[in-house]
Amino acid sequence: MNLDQDSVRHIARLARLALQPDEMDSYTKELERVLDLFAQLNLADVNGLQPLAHPLDQVLTLREDRVGESDPDNALLTLAPEAQSGLYVVPKVIE
Amino acid sequence: MTAQSIAQTAQDLAAGKVRSRELLEAALDAAERNKVLNAFITLDADSAVQAADRLDAMRSSGSDGLLTGIPFAHKDIFCTKGLRTTCASKMLSSFVPPYDATVVERLKIAGALLIGKTNLDEFAMGSSNENSAFGAVRNPWNRNRVPGGSSGGSAAAVAAGIVPYATGTDTGGSIRQPAAFCGLTGIKPTYGRVSRHGMIAYASSLDCGGVLARSAEDCALVLQEMTGYDPRDSTSAQRPIDQYSDSLSVSVAGLRIGVVREYFGNGVDSAVATAVHEALNRLERLGARIVDISLPNSAHAIAAYYVIAPAEASSNLARYDGVRFGHRCTDPRSLDDLYSRSRAEGFGTEVKRRILAGTYALSAGYYDAYYLRAQRVRRLIADDFARAFGEVDLLAGPTTPTTAFRLGEKVDDALAMYAADVNTVATNLAGLPAISVPSGFVDGLPVGLQLIAPAFQESRLLNVGHQLQQTTDWHRQVAPQ
């Protein structure tokens, strides 16, 4: 299946991956082959079959809705590359 | 080099013939001697020494279990509190989790002695362990061959005799294929049987924790400690757990084993097929009934898997944004630049390839044609299994089409690498338990026999594996030192 670089650029943008120009070439070629693999799904006869999202058609279990301690020591925040005053720091979003 | 069973080692420990500290020193020496295999990303010798002394003390006070004080390794995909967990990615190269995965917690309670974290394909995406930011792993049977993947470091560490067992995860064959390539027994239990809490996510509807060891008996002992309901995993199974060791000695007489015709097609090496038939002959001599059976939709499994797994991966890996944890690029110009460059720098080639493929499959205009259709094919495949289990008790075939391939052989051809998963991905799509057991050798390289059971019949798989291992010695062969 043919895929142009604009489509790959669009997908990379959706996935928030800043691809280098040399990567664009190779990913475009490889994704064309991956799409050929995807196209093999058309060989299967799935008439009348419901999608199976989860093995064993599992039903999600519910737990009791009870308040617990999630991160008492702020351990999660200390994992952040940049944090300040209990908050995550990111580049300015609103000009 | 020890090929001793876990039960025997536990007995020696209990009898005071050996101490944990000595077992640990032997394991660390073996790890050092086998450094060239690159099986470990992190060795935690200092903590292990302290733990060994503590466990030795505990044992002398009489409070211990079978795994107490016996060294083992975790695949570096399980979060370990205070111990770096990388998932073989630059993205997590300095990630130190603030909590233990449930599997880690359970084995800790059992007194298991963790020596380190094993190498893997980045985020478990791969079948050769060549997609690791920490370098490829080598196969102990032949160092120019791959150990398989993604649990390649765990397989190499056990096959080289460094540890008697190691944990693994299996999303499309990542326990069974390296077990087959390295001459080990590897079990992937039913989906939901082992908690996924703290197991770094790849494809959540397929991911499954399990174990690689030398024998089915060893696997039974370890799996027993790993399984069980966990409220922190919303897909955890709320079902009673069998006592796996109890069923090991049950006779296989009268058991109906269906040999899956399709698993011998698709480029399966004829010598591999012959080796697998030899193992089936042994089971027949033990009284099992070997019958021919078909899973007619097997050919569609690879396509369905390589739509569903990357689609789930693209969603799961969205969490790596350079904000909350993991790699962050320098001098981001904007929030968008921060996301896009942190992700581009932190992820390796195969991970990016699967994120792109998965994003494509889920994107507007393609969702029905790819993702939804793949899920209907998934139903087709699950129905195949259900039909087959109406006629037989277990299914069998070669775990892999070939023995371990050469390092570099498929690394530039992603599609050829995907195709090698042909006999393993279907069981993940259907959520079924499966085991790979040693089934002889071809040109000095191990072959694996795969057995698949109906949901929650792990004990049957371990039983048949154990019975086979009572009459064969393939699992006792050790890799050349």
Provide the pairing of β-strand B394-398 with B445-452.
Answer: antiparallel
Per-residue pLDDT band at B2 (split at 50, 70, 90): low
What per-residue confidence (pLDDT) applies to B170? 98
- Residue of A11, A20, A41 lying closest to B303 (CB–CB): A41
Quick one: pLDDT band at residue A62, thresholds 50, 70, 90?
A: confident
Residue B47 vs residue B62, higher pLDDT: B47
CB distance B348 to B91 below 8 Å: no
First to last CA, chain A: 43
Q: Minimal Cα distance from A50: which residue of B? A: B376
What secondary structure does DSSP assign to B94-144, as a single string?
Answer: T---SS--HHHHHHHHTT-EEEEEE--SGGG--SSS---TT-PPPBTTBTT
Which pLDDT score, from 0 to 100, does residue A55 have?
Answer: 85
Chain B residue whose CA is closest to A92: B334
Q: How far, in Å, CA of B55 to CA of B70, rounded?
A: 9
Smallest Cα–Cα separation from A43: which of B419, B380, B383, B300?
B300
Tokens linked to B107: 């084995």
* pLDDT, chain B, mean: 96
Q: Span B233-262, mean pLDDT?
A: 96
Per-residue confidence (pLDDT) for residue A53, from 0 to 100? 87
**How much is the average pLDDT of A3-32?**
94
Q: Is B75 a catalytic residue?
A: yes
Instruction: Judge whether residue B63 has pLDDT over 80.
Output: no
What tens digit of pLDDT does each residue of B5-20 get? Answer: 999 999 999 999 999 9
| Cα angle value B378/B458/B212 (rounded, 5°) | 95
B414 touches chain A (CB under 8 A): yes
Listed ranges B62-66, B193-197, B365-369; the one with the highest mean pLDDT: B193-197
Torsions phi, psi of B53, nearest 5?
Answer: -65, -40
What interface predicted TM-score (ipTM) does this complex get?
A: 0.94
Angle at which helix B102-109 crosses helix B216-226, to 10 degrees, equals: 110
- Please give the share of chain B, as a percent, with pLDDT higher than 70: 99
**Model-level pTM greater than 0.90?**
yes
| B215 catalytic per annotation | no
> What pLDDT shows up at residue A58?
64
Inform me whether the pLDDT recorded for B481 exceeds 90.
no
Question: Tokens representing B440?
Answer: 């002889």
The continuous run of DSSP H or E covering B75 comes out as strand B71-75
Cα–Cα distance measured from residue B51 to residue B24, given in angstroms and rounded to the nearest whole number: 10
Q: Which residues of A touch B323 (CB under 8 A)?
A: 80-81, 88, 90
Burial of B5 (0-12, 13-18, 19+ CB in 10 A): middle
Q: Tell me which chain A residues have a C-beta less than 8 angstroms from the C-beta of B235.
A: 54, 58, 60
Q: Cβ contact (<8 Å) for B372 and A93?
A: no
Of B140, B200, B143, whose CA–CA distance to B174 is shortest?
B200
Contact B357 A60 (CB under 8 A): no
pLDDT, tens only, B79-132: 999 999 999 999 999 999 999 999 999 999 999 999 999 999 999 999 999 999
Burial (0-12, 13-18, 19+ Cβ within 10 Å), B369 = middle
Q: Decide if pLDDT at B1 tops 50.
A: no
DSSP letters of B214-283? Answer: SSHHHHHHHHHHHBS--TTSTT---S----GGGGTT---TT-EEEEEGGGG-TT--HHHHHHHHHHHHHH
CB B167 within 8 A of CB B120: no
Q: Give dist(CA B231, CA B421) in Å, integer.
A: 32
* Amino acid in position A41: L
